[in-house]
């Protein structure tokens, strides 16, 4: 069992996280339950900040809230001196409601609506990461209407292929995101932005993908962005103040995953940046990054209750839990793999190999294939590790299941930060037109 952060097995043989016995958490909050190890999130945030401080460069570490956005998480990011990357009006609203300082919010997205742009302009956010030419014009016009000058970065696809799943690889030329660096579109976009009266171009942004273990992709992206910065200064007379390298730093989900310590990714990036700019005798820009998964991913654990089981002799044994692809769509979407333990009998030896099925009405709703476990019975608790990123944030109400609660645990205390959805929440936005109401009541 890979115990990390504050996780341990206590004297009763129960999994404990943040000093809280998870069997007690299950009693108090029910299952499925997302449990967040607050100390580990803070530690990860601090690792980034400390590593950048070491470089001597000016920096911002913007937590990519798409990984896990709740008001509590935004407040925690604020306390850890992070900036925040948002990608929708919903994420922006969450941040603002949590009191996150607008000036430290960066707004992403490849199709921001005028309403979203206006909302962000009114809030006074720090920076827009502009994805395309349409957005440049719309943003400029809306800013002009309000008499504002807006700080922007231009999102560039640097032509770097990250070694990761195709669906989460974004830096290659054939991507829906950003201006292409390799075909002149990026330079053209800078020119266009410089001519627009209400935009202030701070620099460029790239994000090569997610769940990346090697440093070479990041280094290559820095080199390309640095060369671009130098060319733009020579050709257009604009000096970039900021280079934003996005997120993508990998984490360990299962044995065999080999992420580097945060400090090594950061050092590779900052060293490459410093040497590229120093070699060209060029003023050093600020470096910004946007880690999501690596801040919250391994701090999250999902707790389920085991229900039914089905054995197909000689083929497979399924055990079903009370959640599934609706709280964690990643196995179905990306063939993602996870480790898990029986949380109420965590000291017992493994006896059998099972496939953990969810309860959605889909054959593909399998959370873990071929998991070694002690013999699991109905009522046992299954803890799936490393579910802090892209689980709650990607959860759905498929089959009209209710989204789970989220608790933060720390020093033996637990705080509910998202309530479990109620059945009334499920029908909360439904409307019954009068002509259907009659029929429904008659039955
Ligand atoms: C633009 C951008 N920034 C940051 C992130 C965060 O990535 P990760 O969670 O892999 O750190 C993403 C998601 O992949 C992204 O698209
Ligand atoms: N949702 C993806 C990460 C990419 C999202 C942002 N570009 C995952 O779960 O791995």
Q: Domain holding 418: CATH number?
A: 2.40.37.10
Active site residue 361: yes
DSSP structural state of residue 104: G
Q: Which of 267, 291, 315 is the last residue of a domain?
A: 291
425 against 280, higher pLDDT: 425
Contact (Cβ atoms closer than 8 angstroms) between residue 62 and residue 82: yes
Overall number of domains in the chain: 2
Over 60: is that where the pLDDT of 45 sits? Answer: yes
- 242 plus 258 within the same structural domain: yes
CA distance 323 to 326: 7
- Span 257-282, average pLDDT: 95
Domain that holds residue 117: 108-291
Q: Check: CB of residue 129 under 8 Å from CB of residue 199.
A: no
Ligand 1 site, residue 189, Cβ cutoff 6 A: no
Q: What is the CATH number of the domain that holds 120?
A: 3.20.20.10
Mean pLDDT of 267-290: 95
Rounded distance between C-alpha atoms, residue 355 and residue 64, angstroms: 32
Q: pLDDT at residue 39 above 70?
A: yes
- Tell me if 24 is assigned to a ligand binding site: no
Task: Please check whether residue 138 lies inside any domain of the structure.
Answer: yes
Boundary residue ending a domain (264, 291, 318): 291
Residue 404 lies in a domain: yes
> End of a domain among 254, 271, 291?
291
Whole-number pLDDT of residue 134:
97
C-beta of 34 in contact with ligand 2 (< 6 A): no
Task: Please check whether residues 377 and 263 belong to one and the same domain.
Answer: no
| Spatial separation of the C-alpha atoms in residues 10 and 295, rounded to whole Å | 26
User: For residue range 112-156, what is the model confidence (pLDDT) as tens digits?
Assistant: 999 999 999 999 999 999 999 999 999 999 999 999 999 999 999
Residue 302: inside a domain: yes
Please give the Cα distance from 134 to 137 (Å, whole number): 5
For residue 62, being part of any structural domain is answered with no
Same domain, 287 and 306: no
| Residue 46 belongs to some domain of the structure | no
Q: Whose CA is nearest to atom 14 of ligand 1?
A: 210
pTM of the model: 0.96
- Predicted confidence band of residue 163 (pLDDT cuts 50, 70, 90): low
Residue 129 sits in the same domain as residue 201: yes
Same domain, 246 and 354: no
245 plus 185 within the same structural domain: yes
d(CA 175, CA 165): 14
For residue 102, being part of any structural domain is answered with no
Contact 390 CB / ligand 2 (< 6 Å): yes
Task: Say if residue 306 is in the same domain as residue 396.
Answer: yes
Q: pLDDT category, 159, cuts 50, 70, 90?
A: confident
Q: How far is the CA of 165 from the centre of ligand 2 (A)?
A: 10
Same domain (yes/no): 404, 353: yes
Distance, in Å, from the CA atom of 166 to the CA atom of 155, rounded to the nearest integer, reads 19
Q: Which of 327, 305, 221 is nearest to 268 (CA)?
A: 221
Confidence band of 175 (pLDDT split at 50, 70, 90): confident
pLDDT at 196 over 90: yes
Q: Is residue 207 lining ligand 2, measured as CB closer than 6 Å? A: no
pLDDT tens readout for residues 353-366: 999 999 999 999 99
Does any domain span residue 192?
yes
Query: Is residue 272 located within the same domain as residue 174?
Result: yes
The answer to whether residues 328 and 396 belong to one domain is yes
- Identify which of 32, 36, 90 has the alpha carbon closest to the alpha carbon of residue 402: 32
260 and 381 part of one domain: no
Within 10 Å of residue 400's Cβ, how many Cβ atoms? 10
The pLDDT value given to residue 174: 77
Asked if residues 391 and 34 have their Cβ atoms less than 8 Å apart, the reply is: yes
Torsion, Cα of 220, 221, 227, 232 (10° steps): 170
Q: How many residues does the chain have?
A: 443
Confidence band for 442, pLDDT divided at 50, 70 and 90:
low
Ligand 1 atom with the shortest distance to the CA of 291: 11
- Same domain for 262 and 135: yes
Assess if residue 58 is contained within a domain. no
């Amino acid at each position: 069992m890979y115990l990390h952060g504050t996780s341990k097995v206590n004297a009763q043989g129960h999994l404990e996280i943040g000093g809280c016995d998870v069997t007690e958490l299950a009693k108090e909050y029910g299952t499925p339950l997302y449990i967040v190890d607050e100390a580990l999130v803070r530690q990860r945030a601090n690792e980034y900040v400390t590593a950048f401080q070491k470089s001597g460069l000016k920096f911002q570490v913007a937590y990519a809230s798409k990984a896990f956005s709740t008001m509590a998480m935004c407040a925690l990011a604020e306390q850890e001196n992070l900036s925040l990357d948002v990608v929708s009006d919903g994420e922006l609203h969450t941040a603002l409601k949590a009191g996150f300082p607008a000036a430290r919010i960066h707004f992403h997205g490849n199709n921001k609506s005028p309403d979203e742009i206006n909302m962000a302009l009114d809030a006074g956010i720090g920076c827009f990461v502009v994805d395309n030419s349409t957005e440049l014009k719309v943003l400029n016009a809306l800013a002009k209407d309000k008499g504002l000058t807006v700080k922007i970065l231009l999102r560039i696809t640097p032509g770097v292929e990250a070694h990761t799943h195709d669906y989460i690889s974004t830096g290659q030329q054939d991507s829906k995101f950003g201006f292409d660096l390799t075909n002149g579109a990026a330079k053209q976009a800078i020119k266009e932005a410089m001519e627009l009266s209400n935009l202030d171009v701070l620099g460029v942004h790239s994000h090569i993908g997610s769940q990346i273990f090697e440093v070479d992709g990041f280094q290559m992206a820095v080199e390309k962005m640095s060369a671009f910065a130098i060319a733009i200064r020579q050709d257009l007379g604009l000096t970039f103040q900021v280079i934003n390298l996005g997120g993508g730093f990998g984490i360990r989900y299962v044995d065999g995953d080999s992420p580097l310590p945060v400090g090594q990714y950061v050092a590779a990036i900052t060293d490459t940046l410093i040497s590229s700019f120093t070699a060209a005798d060029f003023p050093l820009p600020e470096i910004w990054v946007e880690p999501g998964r690596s801040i919250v991913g391994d701090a999250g654990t999902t707790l389920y209750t085991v229900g039914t089981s089905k054995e197909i002799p000689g083929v497979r044994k399924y055990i079903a839990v009370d959640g599934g692809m609706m709280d964690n769509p990643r196995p179905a979407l990306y063939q993602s793999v996870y480790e898990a333990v029986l949380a109420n009998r965590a000291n017992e030896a493994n006896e059998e190999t099972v496939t953990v099925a969810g309860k959605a009405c889909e054959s593909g709703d399998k959370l873990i294939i071929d998991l070694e476990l002690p013999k699991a019975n109905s009522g046992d608790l299954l803890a799936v590790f490393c579910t802090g990123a892209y689980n709650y944030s990607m959860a759905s109400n498929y089959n009209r299941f209710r989204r789970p609660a989220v608790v933060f645990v720390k020093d033996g205390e637990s705080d509910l930060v998202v309530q479990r959805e109620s059945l009334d929440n499920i029908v909360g936005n439904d409307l019954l037109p009068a002509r259907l109401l009659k029929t429904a009541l008659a039955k």
